[in-house]
Amino acid sequence: CILCAIRDHAKDIASLEVFRTEKFIVSVNLYPFNPGHVMIFPLRHIENIADLTTDEVMALHELTIKTINILKEEFKPSGFNVGYNLGSFSGASISHIHLHIVPRFPNELGFLDVIAHTRVMVVDPYNICERLKKRFN
């Protein structure tokens, strides 16, 4: 699992981790839809959203709010998409549950551009990773 490899600091995996709590990791998406597109995922390998404990759900909610506030400060987006891709037909390519937070901006590429399997690199995810590490710390 790529997210478990990030969690375990695997040497052969590029990590875009920006923040870690005792239960979750915030990571920049390697193929972002927009600047600041991050994923939050649990440290323990969970494939079913129903397997999150009540404590994890609360911690995830608090971290989601913190992350959105940081993204607002750093990128000044006009809005956000927040959600999961559950199952292969939803676009999920990683079974380890992860929450996407995608800042939205006027005059951006639409999701149809992305859904058409085009990898549009709107920003350097490594640069975004460094910017967000500063904000979280």
Give catalytic residue positions: 98
Instruction: Tell the residue number behind the tokens 């999150």, with chain if given.
Output: 52
Q: Any idea which residue has 């709107």 for tokens?
A: 122
Q: Kindly give, in sequence order, each residue whose CB lies less than 8 Å from that of residue 38, ignoring residues fewer than 6 positions away.
A: 18, 26, 27, 28, 29, 67, 71, 100, 101, 132
- Residue type (1 letter), 90: S
Calculate the CA 64 to chain-centre distance.
10
